[in-house]
Homo-oligomer: A and B are copies of this chain.
Amino acid sequence: MPNKIDRSLTIIAGIWVKDDFSCMLDLVKRIKKCNAHIIAIRFPKYYECILDSRKDVFGRLKEIKKVLEETGLSLMVEVSDTRDVFIVSKYADILLIDTESSQNLPLLREVSKANKPVLLKRGLSMTLSELLKSAKYIEKGGNSNIILCEGGIRTFSSVNSIATLDISAIPVLKEMVNLLIFVDPIYGSDGKESVLSLSKAAVAAGADGLILDVKCGENKLYNDYLNKLNIKEFCYIVEEVKKIAKVLGKKIENSLEVKANEDQIYRTRHKWR
C-alpha cells in the first residue's frame, strides 16, 4: 500500500550556469507558478570557463538563496569538488552529486559530513548495487538524508546519444531501499518529446521527483539545447505529469517537506543489500 510519502511528487527545475545566468532570477517566479519546488543549479561539462563560473556562482549563492526564499523555492546546487562543499552547503538546501561524481569517494565523504540532504545521481555505468554502495558510503559518514536519482545508463542504443533512461531502476530501487527515488530524463532523451514521454513514464513507474532542465537565455556556447525546455514547455510537462500523478493518488508537492513531517524512520530505515 502506498505510504503518505509515496503520494507526493517533487518538481525540480534545473538551470545550467552557462546559460546566461542573469536570466535565472527573472525565471524563478515563472517556474514557481508552474508548481516547481526546487531550483537546481547545474554546471555543464568540459568547458574550461566553467570552473571560474562556478566561483562566480558560489559567490552569489547568498543573493540567489534570498530570491528563492522570497518565492518559496528551495535551492539545490551541484558540487563536484571537495573544496566547494563547505560554501555550497552554507546556502543550498540540497546538494546535487551528478553522474560523473557518483563514485568520487572523497566528495561523498565530504557531503556525508554536511548537514544537508544529498541527491545522488547514478553514474552512466553504475549498477544499482554500486549506486547503493555510494549511498551507503554517504550514510556511514553520518548523513542518511539521501535521494537517489536515475539519470540513464550507457547502452548500445544509438538513438539517445548520451544514455538510455533505466525506468526499471525506479521499482527495483524502491524494493531495495527506503529512499526517495527521483528521475532526471535529460541524458536519456532524444528531444523534447522524449522528455515529456519519459517524465510521464517515470511518474507512472513511481518516481518521487523529476528534474527538468529549463532553458535560460540564448547562450549558444554549447549545443545541448535539444533537451532543454523553455518555460512554456516546462509548465506543459508539469501539467501533463500531474494528470498521471493524480491517477496514482499523488500530489505535486515537495516530498522532502512531506518527509520532514513524516515519521523519520520510514525513509531512513534502509534495507541495504
Contact = CB atoms under 8 A, between A and B. Distances in A.
A123 B123 CA distance: 11
A87 to B, nearest CB: 14
A267 interface: no
Contact of A104 (B80, B83, B124, B141): B80
Contacts of A123: 125
A83 B105 CA distance: 13
Contacts of A48: 109, 137, 140-141
Interface residues of A, number: 28
A188 to B, nearest CB: 13
Nearest to A80: B106
Q: Give this chain's copy count.
A: 2
A46 B104 CA distance: 10
Contacts of A140: 48
Contacts of A81: 82, 106-107
Contacts of A201: none
B51 A109 contact: yes
Interface in A129-164: 133-134, 137, 140-141, 153-154
Nearest to A134: B46
Contacts of A153: 125
Contact of A133 (B46, B51, B141, B154): B46
Given A45-B105, A100-B104, 14 more contacts: A45-B103, A46-B105, A46-B134, A48-B109, A48-B140, A48-B141, A51-B105, A51-B106, A80-B105, A81-B82, A82-B83, A84-B106, A104-B104, A125-B153
Interface of A: 45-46, 48, 50-51, 80-84, 100-101, 103-107, 109, 123-125, 133-134, 137, 140-141, 153-154
